[in-house]
């Protein structure tokens, strides 16, 4: 495995400036934003001439590779919501928002192909996440599942053409937000080879403190990318409003907080162990959403915490005489 860095952590800096910071702190890969107007990477520009090759060479000059492209913002519009809640991403009719999200995600896949990047991370969105609770609309969730198939199956076919995989990041306000909905999505898409997951341990915990290890053990071969992000369940605040308490992330009485790895409740040794056992040997990409400290703090602390835990190569097996004896 390798330690990666999400360039959007420093969205106000150029990719080269981020590469300098990441490299000097011991990171080995960059995850690059590719949604429209992200301020760092323009897909249309990358697809011109030999710009893709130039970008790769620049990043490689810092001893880094590209782990994935991110289209988290725009892909959300494919299923929604299509209300004013998403106007900050794109303002338009529901039909215009769906088209905008779909075209942006496909352009990102095309760009990943040009950059020889194997994975695009993103969201699915969901029309109305409140329908996870079967009241007042008992059939509301199954209706949204049909939309998911209708809109994402053709997209996955295009991803297959580009030779790129889509790593959906389970997250609240998406049609996939836990282990059960992740398994259901695979079933709905008939286990499409281009569809899998960007495992963010903090997001898995966000709806009830679920064990990340279960997700890994059951869906290991569909984990295409991993975010290094932690979460803290603030036990003394649980009684105030539960883990899904609404409100600003910096509320002192919040029962759930995103943290940097090592400062939350994720058992990283266990997570890395399970990832190794299911054959995952790619990247742990650090994403900063910890409102208690700066990104600069996180850059140093995450590298210091995770690098000693990284499993550099899988187990080779024993080759001495005793362990080569057949079992009775």
CB 164 within 8 A of CB 194: yes
State whether residue 90 is helix, strand or coil.
coil
What's the pLDDT at 184?
A: 98
- In the predicted model, residues of the chain with pLDDT beneath 70 are 209, 324-328
What's the pLDDT at 115?
A: 98
* Residue boundaries of the structural domains of the chain: 2-228+267-324
User: What does the block give as tokens for 294?
Assistant: 């700066």
Half-sphere exposure at residue 9, Cβ-oriented, CA atoms within 13 angstroms: 30
* Residue recorded with tokens 């060479």: 57
User: What does the block give as tokens for 131?
Assistant: 């329908």
Alpha-carbon span 36 to 12, nearest angstrom: 15
State whether residue 67 is helix, strand or coil.
strand
What's the pLDDT at 137?
A: 84
What's the pLDDT at 152?
A: 98
CA distances to 39, 173, 191, 194, 239 from 156, in Å: 27, 21, 11, 6, 43
What's the pLDDT at 324?
A: 67
What's the pLDDT at 195?
A: 98
Segment 135-184, tens digit of pLDDT: 888 888 999 999 999 999 999 999 999 999 999 999 999 999 999 999 99
| CA 170 from centroid of its chain's CA atoms | 8
CA distances to 84, 133, 256, 269 from 230, in Å: 30, 27, 11, 13
What's the pLDDT at 170?
A: 97
Q: Other CB atoms closer than 10 Å to residue 288's CB: what's the count?
A: 23
Predicted TM-score of the model (pTM): 0.94
The fold for domain 2-228+267-324 equals TIM Barrel (3.20.20)
ω before 136 within 30° of 0 (cis)? yes
């Amino acid at each position: 495995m390798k330690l990666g860095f999400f360039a959007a952590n420093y969205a106000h800096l150029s990719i080269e400036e981020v590469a300098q910071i990441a490299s000097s702190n011991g990171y080995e890969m960059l995850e690059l934003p590719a949604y429209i107007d992200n301020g760092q990477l323009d897909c249309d520009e990358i697809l011109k001439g030999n710009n893709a090759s130039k970008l790769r060479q620049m990043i490689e000059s810092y001893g880094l590779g590209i782990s994935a492209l991110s289209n988290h913002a725009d892909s959300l519009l494919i299923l929604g919501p299509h209300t004013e809640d998403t106007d900050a991403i794109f303002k338009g009719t529901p039909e215009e928002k769906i088209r905008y999200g779909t075209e942006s995600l496909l352009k990102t896949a095309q760009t990943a192909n040009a950059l020889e990047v194997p994975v695009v991370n993103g969201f699915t969105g969901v029309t109305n996440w409140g329908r996870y609770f079967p009241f007042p609309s008992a059939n509301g969730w199954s209706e949204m599942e049909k939309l998911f198939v209708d809109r994402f199956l053709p997209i996955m076919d295009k991803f297959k053409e580009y030779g790129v995989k889509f790593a959906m990041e389970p997250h609240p306000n998406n049609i996939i937000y836990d282990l059960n909905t992740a398994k259901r999505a695979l079933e709905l898409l008939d286990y499409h080879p281009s569809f899998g997951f960007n495992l963010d341990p903090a997001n898995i915990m966000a709806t009830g403190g679920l064990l990340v290890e279960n997700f890994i053990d059951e869906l290991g071969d569909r984990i295409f990318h991993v975010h290094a992000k932690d979460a803290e369940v603030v036990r003394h605040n649980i009684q105030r409003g539960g883990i899904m308490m609404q409100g600003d992330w910096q509320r002192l009485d919040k029962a759930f907080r995103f943290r940097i790895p090592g400062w939350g409740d994720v058992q990283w040794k266990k997570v890395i162990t399970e990832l190794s056992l299911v054959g995952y040997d790619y990247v742990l990409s650090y994403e900063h959403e910890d409102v208690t400290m700066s990104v600069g703090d996180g850059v140093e602390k995450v590298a210091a915490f995770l690098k000693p835990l990284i499993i550099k190569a899988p187990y080779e097996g024993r080759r001495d005489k005793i362990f080569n004896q057949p079992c009775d």
